[in-house]
Structure 1
């Protein structure tokens, strides 16, 4: 049993009533990290521009950005551009922006799915001290209007489809003067812009201007703003988190320092990352900064999330960064497939799984026989070469973490952070196979727990202190853009930022995220409900793809909206006299609802849900919660307020049926 502490209390910090003492990682108890040494050891890397230069030097001419060209509708093998060539293109494009009269420290927009021009546009911003402001249409037109006008954007770099959206909105975007289109520029789009007094140019045209008229880089300082990253939130107007170069580099530097202690990894030129999580969100951008710092390759998905695993099979990444939603889907599919096969195949899988699970507790990831005989086909789903898996953005079930380690024989890390800390709050350590915890504080921050008396969480709780997670340090943002009141509500006078999450320290000084302050609600009988916890449990049921749990403060019970797994539901239907029906017909079938309601109750109790946490009625739907229908944020978090409004009639009916 491991007894070494992962974090320690900050020395010399006096006790404050209503909160626990701050803790820091045991790897850096005296000083919070804000930079990392160059490979040659000649200087410290303090900005994202220096990080890019470091990657170029470490790459030694190696590949950087890769895409799959689509020819006659058929995706081709990945084609790569080297670090050196990307550096030339970035310098030329950045110089072109300067010739378009983009001033130092000015805000410019980026509006597109992930693609090389997205990354190169942002790198150009770093090179010439400009501030990127990502846009994404899943926020809705109102939010785009708000962001563009609040940041007074004059130049927006966009893919052709997003450029059309901007031109259609031009009447409410008075500051926009130029739109730079990635890829081929349709003359009709340029003509439409001219009619609206907006200049529409091709990305390559701006790049060519810079090639013909070079401009020396204007590198930023560590405290300069790198980006304003608007958080989608679940309700209300988006808030623009101002992130400095120091904020993001602090997160990168923490991981470098962890790697120097063999507690994490820094990728090298032989490593490959697939970029598909939205670059508009800080999680993917922090990932890219880490990849660049080690000169790794970044391959982009072709733009269709449904074809992601096809892209993964071709790219064969060594690093796979994702969110629990995707890992849950892989988990569900594999276990459902094993159950459907039955017989000797199921026997072998279960025996192999049990053997490797027992080995996990002894710190062993690999098994010479079972990895080849049983888990090889599963490993191939992620390309067959994955060495490191990182999960972030939302809590992941301990069962799923174990599953990933067992089936992929990979180091699996769970990260925890928010936009406001450049994703740099906690990270589990390599070799620590204890599921359910997110590790100690990253080396760039210190963390404390603040009492929440209303919810009976206190720093004096036994056996483990609990409370709202608060942090202070180099990755913590300076505030929200043009929003002093919201900034003051988040960061106190001593620099401590609130997260809105509830945490608990374990006996080794690792953090466990146990609740969400804002998403907690109280039922009529006074019981507090954490819906995300219940959803995470029910989503592991083989028939469930997604679930939204709802409770009303005037009611004593919970109800839910369930999206079944199409494949699993069809298998169940074929065995229960419902063969031949479509997925939509099955979702509307009363017997499906009746079975699901009963089986989810049994499943919930077997998963230690309390009586008041069991759903007493459900509504079954065939439409998945998605970014496109506005039921999920770009990081795949459920938008509760939107879901509540969408299903208001069904919620009322479910409660009426219970009564």
Structure 2
């Protein structure tokens, strides 16, 4: 208030002259010079009051993690007072059920879950209504024969929508465990899951999905399935078909009405109780069901809340957009965090092509995102700037904002935001305060660019289903890229030697292992694979290779097992694909390569020297020596077409097919160091030897 009164006094030249002469009594000042000095003083004072201030980090950014018991390969968060890991943040939030109840106490009749019809605004269901509907639905499931304990598994096969969350909360209200299903698992995998969990009840959003489950019941391969609960209407023909094989089909509203007639008091879960069995899609064998407890969820969510406590406090008016699959833990942990603070979650319409319209309508403040979408946003921004002048202005503005970021300043109200970035920010609703990217690595270039252009906090996390979601997280104030942050307060992270790959913990490199209250209980009824993942000391072996950086953050550098993710989050088992391509007549040896920053595969192929010359002539009239044919782009194209055809016949998915090749005329061998003594590919060495060719293929595709 005093500052504004002083500014008003500056409007009077007499008052200005008197004020300045008090400061500068020895200077002979004219009215015009006094006015000039007054203007400078006003602007300086205004700048001092309104200048952007850097975010204060919660710890020393040069020491974001601490060695445990003096072992630099094993580290925990610098936010902890000692080696005691964080179980929960609030005293009253030790389970996922508790976290929703806390939000209910905060928000009451305030909005909780939002949905919309095409072209319409969002409609909201209150926290009170959600809690009431969950209790009624849960009571109805008990009346249908479900038991109120963690050994009762209830399946859900639906896209993101309010009923999904109500169904989940119904299970938690009576200590039942949820088992999400999703289409990309495939029907065989869903048969395996239903039988493994001995599920009798599955909740579906539409008849088409219920039909796919019923077909397996008709074949006699899912004997325990006895009840299908549908969100929407279904045909009488379908109901009759279900009755004929011993399956009851009922609408969600009818189960809710049944619960109203048989209302039961809640039976809240304990932290050690099972909350969800999350099945990983995997790439080989049957899917594994990771058993996640309520304590796992509480500790993981609480750790993110603790990291953000000084920089980003979730408020009741905050809203998140829900479009990432609820069958995966990343999206679920985001929502639990929102519910814990009485905030809102709005669901997309179910059509990813309409997502941007949903975002513009919802105007989220919180944006969970995967690198593939961030890459699209980045590409769209760059492609929309066609003139050299505008492109130069964009890149200059980005550099200026990145300079602010390097000093810890994050904002969206600079001149650059108003002049250059406002349309970009408006395309995401204009209200973003926070974005979190996970599930796959993101390019440092893209991350730094979007932090500047979006003008909001963008954090990166790393983890996997088996540690509930995350085990590392960016530290507020650290806006550098190329790492995945420091350990969460709920996790110790250590690196262990991998001699075969020449990674050693003494060098700050090795397989990433995680221990703490967020680590899962094991795989459902699968002791063998549980023992592979969890060692006798409770360490979860991730299969990823990490490197500790000097500031205590973790960088992901490799994959121990030859399984990796593409940028869209799809897992790839290269050896499986290579075995398929070996059936191709002209192919003698093949190496399939993928980059987690890319969305497609490429490969190195050694053609069979005894076959190639004749094959090439018959295939397309190509002539030449073996080496000449390896350099012929038309021959490469023909081999790639044959490989794609063989892959298609073998059932390879589109993302499993290589999109480009390099033909190499020399065999991989023990002598040249590209095969092991047991004739297995030395994948690291092959990647190193052909690094130039691999980089060129990706560069060419990018152009």
If the TM-score is normalised by the length of the shorter chain, which range does it land in? 0.7 to 0.9
| 1:45 match | 93
- Residues 1:468 and 1:158: Cα distance change in structure 2 (over 3 Å): same
1:203 to 244, 252, 272: 252
> Matched residue of 1:375: which SS?
helix
Inter-partner Cα distance in structure 2 for 1:270 and 1:247: 27
Inter-partner Cα distance in structure 2 for 1:429 and 1:618: 50
Shift of 1:502: 0.7
| 2:571 match | none
Shift of 1:383: 1.0
Inter-partner Cα distance in structure 2 for 1:307 and 1:484: 43
1:59 to 100, 107, 115: 107
Is it true that 1:96 corresponds to 2:143 in the alignment?
Answer: no
Q: Is the 8 A contact 1:112 1:118 kept in 2?
A: yes
Inter-partner Cα distance in structure 1 for 2:328 and 2:638: 33
Is it true that 1:242 corresponds to 2:291 in the alignment?
Answer: yes
Q: Is the 8 A contact 1:49 1:220 kept in 2?
A: yes
2:429 to 380, 383, 390: 383
| 2:156 match | 110
Is it true that 1:411 corresponds to 2:464 in the alignment?
Answer: no
Shift of 1:119: 0.8
Inter-partner Cα distance in structure 2 for 1:46 and 1:189: 42
Matched ranges for 1:65-84 at <5 A? 65-69=113-117, 74-84=118-128
| 1:611 match | none
> Matched residue of 1:109: which SS?
strand
> Matched residue of 1:169: which SS?
helix
| 1:517 match | 560
Cα-Cα RMSD: 2.9
Shift of 1:110: 0.4
Q: Is the 8 A contact 1:535 1:547 kept in 2?
A: no
2:378 to 331, 346, 368: 331
Q: Deviations over 1:103-140 (max 9, x none)?
A: 12211100011111111111111110101001112111
Shift of 1:237: 0.8
Shift of 1:267: 1.8
Is it true that 1:169 corresponds to 2:208 in the alignment?
Answer: no
Shift of 1:164: 1.7
Is it true that 1:294 corresponds to 2:341 in the alignment?
Answer: yes
- Residues 1:421 and 1:177: Cα distance change in structure 2 (over 3 Å): same
Segments of structure 2 that go 5 or more residues without pairing to the other structure are 1-56, 564-573, 579-590, 609-630, 642-646, 668-703
- Residues 1:552 and 1:643: Cα distance change in structure 2 (over 3 Å): farther
| 1:357 match | 402
Shift of 1:209: 1.0
Q: Deviations over 1:12-69 (max 9, x none)?
A: x6x6xxxx542110101521011121xxxxx431111111111101114210000112
Inter-partner Cα distance in structure 1 for 2:61 and 2:352: 42
- Residues 1:110 and 1:511: Cα distance change in structure 2 (over 3 Å): same
| 1:304 match | 351
> Matched residue of 1:5: which SS?
coil
Shift of 1:236: 1.8
- Residues 1:657 and 1:645: Cα distance change in structure 2 (over 3 Å): farther
- Residues 1:370 and 1:457: Cα distance change in structure 2 (over 3 Å): same
Is it true that 1:459 corresponds to 2:505 in the alignment?
Answer: yes
Inter-partner Cα distance in structure 2 for 1:477 and 1:641: 33
Is it true that 1:192 corresponds to 2:236 in the alignment?
Answer: no
Inter-partner Cα distance in structure 2 for 1:431 and 1:413: 10
Inter-partner Cα distance in structure 1 for 2:62 and 2:601: 39
> Matched residue of 1:61: which SS?
coil
Q: Deviations over 1:414-471 (max 9, x none)?
A: 011100011130110111111111111110110100111111111122xxx1111001
Inter-partner Cα distance in structure 1 for 2:107 and 2:178: 25
- Residues 1:403 and 1:657: Cα distance change in structure 2 (over 3 Å): same
Structure 1 window deviating more from structure 2 (205-214 vs 240-249): it is: 205-214
Inter-partner Cα distance in structure 2 for 1:551 and 1:165: 40
> Matched residue of 1:374: which SS?
helix
Shift of 1:519: 2.8
Q: Is the 8 A contact 2:280 2:288 kept in 1?
A: yes
Shift of 1:647: 3.5
Shift of 1:554: 9.9
Aligned residues: 547
Q: Deviations over 1:224-250 (max 9, x none)?
A: 100110001122210000011011111
Q: Is the 8 A contact 1:535 1:549 kept in 2?
A: no
> Matched residue of 1:280: which SS?
coil
